[in-house]
Structure 1
Amino acid sequence: MQENQHSASYLKASSTIKNMTTVAAALDAFQQHYPVDFVTFHLARTIVDSIDAPFVRTTYPDGWVSRYLLNDYINVDPIIREGFSRQLPFDWREIEIPQNAHQFMMEAELHGVGNNGVSIPIIDKSRRSLLSINSQKSDEEWTSIEQQFRPEWIELGFLLHRKAVFELHGENDPVPALGTREVECLHWASRGKDSKDIAGILGLSEHTARGYLKSARYKLGCPTLSAAIAHAVHLNLITPHVGNPN
């Protein structure tokens, strides 16, 4: 989408969001500039020490947030389940609601949560986040709104993602920006492959494979390859037990 194709809502929202110091304030701005009712941003794999601590901000009413946490509804929430397994944005009407989530859905409606919405998965480095936009509008109204604004919401999702990372870590993001080949080489090294083996698997020269391992080690700030592999596992950049890194 070119700049001159952005709506007035996007131009106002993006400018305001960039100036906000917190994700919570940014979500309030998002909600104010679009015809939606609630907005939620959920960042996983925040790399706080050794804990995969979630980072969640929402404009939902406090009563519903308290109820959600009290009943541990994150374990039955079908939007969260789908959102962290999908790669592409999806309309909530695409989701099949399992039997164990029916009570959850009824309670959400009683607390003012709309039946319509869209969720936008965002993948960056080893992190995944999910921007969910909720609406109380009718199906017809919501379809029109979503078709008009979804491309803008995807862009704003990445803006919110970067803001969340900055809110957590400031300029010192602990997750380095490794290239795809660097991640692949580290992955196969973690599975016991040497540079010759890796070169054969990835269709590279042995010299190139060694170069990717060396640059990955430097970016991770590690003195040895084994230390780099351990650090990459800690940061969820690679998962040795998985056969293919992609």
Structure 2
Amino acid sequence: MSHHDRHIWNREPRRLAAFEVAIRDVVGKFGLKFFLVSVFPEAARAGLLDNLITTNWPDDLLQSYRSTDMFTQSNIVAKLKESVLPVSSEQLLFARAERGGVASQIGGVFYDDGFACNVGISPHDAKARQYLFMLSGSDCSNAELADLVFDLMTALDDLTRGSGEIKLLSRKEIECLRWSAAGKSSDEIAVILGLSSHTVTAYLKTAIKKLGVTTRIQAVVAAYRLKLL
């Protein structure tokens, strides 16, 4: 864990250490090798070191990448600005093609170091702050994106959640979350439970508020983590 983490994050060192262990476990679970986690770059704070949370990139590769100042102009950042969906590609995502020779040079270094396959994910925490996860390896065939996103969001939730108590969810709130986790819409859940769509939406909103998150998927992740589902 670099000292830059503590400059960005006013978090307990143990929580940061646990987060890094969790990310390493996820990377290994899905047959990948490298990871870089950062706050999503903004104009006021665009540099890699200004946003970096943790990474296991080789030091020489990290230094080379920083020296090109490509972080905010990279393909992966550009793609994730346009869509909330994960990005998976065997093409180089860490540099822009129009940079010509520089991109080709950096691309060769990445490929040689085992970055042949890359996955980019940009989740939000409960306070709607956006993050960037870049995972890489020689083969992404074992990386089921839905499971990968779930595991990463669980780790992010553990890192960013406050230590306050979670209010107990009602039986109906848990039922609505359980069916939401199964991919059902509010209308479908309403039919299953014999409720109105408005009531289902109200239950889900209440559950989201109690869990201290902002979206349904975050609520599902939090409920699983708390063994409520």
Query: Which structure: larger Rg?
Result: 1
Give the structure, 1 or 2, with the largest relative contact order (CA under 8 Å, sep 6 or more): 2
TM-score, normalised via structure 2 length: 0.50
TM-score, normalised via structure 1 length: 0.47
